[in-house]
């Protein structure tokens, strides 16, 4: 079974589905409330677990009911939570999300305990990084911790994947620590200085990021799929998935990155880069339809983490471009963790 370590955030998502988004100073009534587990790090951990990986997570939650709920939920999925530390004096990270029937949303995030994670705290769990074949990081935890995680993974020969979200300025030497850099169009534009409006401009943005030290860049392009470039040559966009739904604003990053971490023996070190992109894009498309506007889409109050697809579900869904060749094994019995 592939081994994945995630260093990242764990939040409670408090979502209200409204008839429309309020204007400044306005109150809109008639909403439906949904509280679910979230956070970029926890989402990636759950997605990787559902795709068949053995997963451990390093992060922080608060000493409150929300933190206990997150730990229990991850543990029930079989995710190692020994590295998910409790900060008694802090609140668990919380996202407040307003969404309208078309999927447009407004989001505010209080990082809470996520922002209390230090290098000293994380380094106490370096054994989980050394144990892993793939390390996944995002930017909802302090940047020194992200740097430590990437550097530690390099010392132990572990493949590194960095999802640069929420986007912030990053130095060239930090970008060089990531074997995979997986921005969306907006993040790619902010990091490269090139607005990624389409495939060609995304290719230029990727080449700029390669010039800054990134080794492999995979830019998610919504309905256009994903563009993968490495330091040898750019690759064609992966095809869009047949499972696309009508939620263009829902985040793709968690569902996209985790399949790159799920294959046996360390992501693209063994798997072909384009194969990783193809399967990642399928899972990203599924996740895109499972994001914030869940109440409007499904009406059942089920959160995104509970809907991340298992690998077998992607295959049964008839996704285009899905490779099932032996060198791209997910070690997952069909239908597990659905």
Which range is least confidently modeled, 96-110, 115-129, 304-318? 304-318
What confidence tier does 314 reach under pLDDT thresholds 50, 70, 90? very low
pLDDT above 90 (res 311): no
Provide mean pLDDT across the span 143-165: 97
CB 270 within 8 A of CB 263: yes
Average pLDDT, the chain: 76
DSSP-assigned letter for residue 92:
P
Which range is least confidently modeled, 23-32, 160-169, 308-317? 308-317
The pLDDT assigned to 306 comes to 64
- List helix spans (H) across 237-293: 253-261, 273-288
CB 67 within 8 A of CB 86: yes
- List helix spans (H) across 156-272: 172-175, 185-192, 199-211, 253-261
Long-range contacts of 145-152 (CB under 8 A, 24+ apart): 145/7, 145/117, 145/118, 145/119, 146/7, 146/174, 147/174, 147/177, 148/119, 148/122, 148/123, 149/7, 149/58, 149/122, 150/174, 150/177, 150/178, 151/177, 152/123, 152/126
Which residue, 160, 128, 127, is CA-closest to 146?
A: 160
CA 164 to chain centre: 10
The pLDDT assigned to 312 comes to 53
The residues near 185 (Cβ < 8 Å, ≥ 6 apart) are: 196, 197, 202, 219, 220, 221, 222
105-151 pLDDT per residue, tens: 888 889 999 999 999 999 999 999 999 999 999 999 999 999 999 99
Name residue 135's beta-bridge partners: 5, 160
Provide mean pLDDT across the span 226-247: 49
- Stronger pLDDT, 299 or 14, i.e. the higher one: 14
Domain membership of residue 205 (yes or no) is yes
Cα–Cα distance for residue pair 220/241, rounded to 1 Å:
13
- Stronger pLDDT, 253 or 124, i.e. the higher one: 124
Percent share of the chain, pLDDT over 70: 68
Distances (CA, A) of 121 to 58, 179, 235, 311: 9, 24, 39, 33
Which residue, 115, 113, 134, is CA-closest to 56?
A: 134
pLDDT above 60 (res 56): yes
Task: Give the total number of structural domains in the chain.
Answer: 1
What confidence tier does 331 reach under pLDDT thresholds 50, 70, 90? very low
Provide mean pLDDT across the span 281-285: 47
pLDDT above 60 (res 235): no
Which range is least confidently modeled, 170-179, 183-192, 276-285, 290-299? 290-299
Domain membership of residue 169 (yes or no) is yes
What are the respective helix, strand and coil percentages of the chain, to the nearest 5? 35, 20, 45
Provide mean pLDDT across the span 37-47: 91
- Per DSSP bridges, beta strands 80-87 and 54-62 are parallel
Domain membership of residue 99 (yes or no) is no
CB 103 within 8 A of CB 81: no
CB 58 within 8 A of CB 112: no
Cα–Cα distance for residue pair 21/224, rounded to 1 Å:
28
Domain membership of residue 195 (yes or no) is yes
Which residue, 233, 84, 254, is CA-closest to 165?
A: 254
Cα–Cα distance for residue pair 157/168, rounded to 1 Å:
27
Domain membership of residue 119 (yes or no) is yes
The pLDDT assigned to 1 comes to 81
Percent share of the chain, pLDDT over 90: 52
CATH of the domain at 259: 3.40.1190.20
Provide mean pLDDT across the span 304-310: 59
Provide mean pLDDT across the span 45-60: 92
Domain membership of residue 328 (yes or no) is no
pLDDT above 80 (res 315): no
The pLDDT assigned to 232 comes to 57
With residue 311 as reference, give the H or E element that holds it: helix 311-316
Cα–Cα distance for residue pair 116/86, rounded to 1 Å:
10
The pLDDT assigned to 31 comes to 84
Domain, as residue range, for 186: 3-8+40-91+114-316
């Amino acid at each position: 079974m592939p081994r994945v370590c995630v260093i990242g955030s764990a939040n409670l998502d408090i979502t209200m589905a409204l008839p429309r988004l309020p204007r400044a100073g306005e109150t809109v009534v008639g909403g439906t409330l949904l509280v679910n587990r979230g956070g970029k790090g926890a989402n990636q951990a759950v997605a990787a677990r559902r795709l068949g990986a053995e997963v451990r997570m390093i992060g922080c939650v608060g000493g409150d009911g929300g933190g206990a709920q997150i730990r229990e939920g991850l543990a029930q999925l079989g995710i190692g939570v020994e590295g998910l530390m409790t900060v008694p004096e802090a609140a668990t990270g919380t996202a407040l999300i307003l969404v309208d029937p078309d999927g447009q949303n407004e989001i505010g995030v209080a990082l809470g305990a996520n922002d209390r994670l230090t290098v000293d705290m994380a380094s106490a769990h370096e054994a989980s990084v050394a144990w892993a074949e793939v390390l996944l990081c995002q930017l909802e935890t302090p940047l020194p911790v992200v740097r430590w995680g990437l550097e530690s993974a390099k010392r132990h020969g572990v493949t590194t994947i960095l999802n640069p979200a929420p986007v912030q300025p990053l130095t060239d030497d930090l970008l060089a620590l990531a074997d995979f850099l997986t921005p969306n169009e907006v993040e790619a534009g902010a990091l490269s200085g090139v607005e990624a409006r389409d495939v060609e401009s995304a290719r230029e943005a990727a080449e700029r990021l390669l010039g800054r030290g990134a080794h492999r860049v995979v830019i998610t392009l919504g309905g256009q799929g994903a563009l993968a470039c490495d330091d040898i040559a750019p690759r064609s966009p992966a095809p869009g998935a047949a499972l696309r739904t009508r939620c263009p604003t829902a985040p793709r990053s968690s569902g996209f990155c985790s399949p790159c971490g799920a294959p046996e023996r360390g992501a693209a070190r063994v798997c072909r880069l384009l194969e990783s992109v193809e399967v990642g894009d399928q899972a990203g498309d599924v996740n895109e339809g499972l994001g914030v506007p869940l109440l409007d889409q499904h009406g059942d109050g089920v959160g995104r983490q509970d809907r991340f697809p298992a690998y077998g579900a992607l295959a049964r869904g008839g996704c285009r471009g899905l490779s099932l060749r032996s060198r791209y094994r997910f070690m997952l019995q069909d239908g597990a963790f659905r």
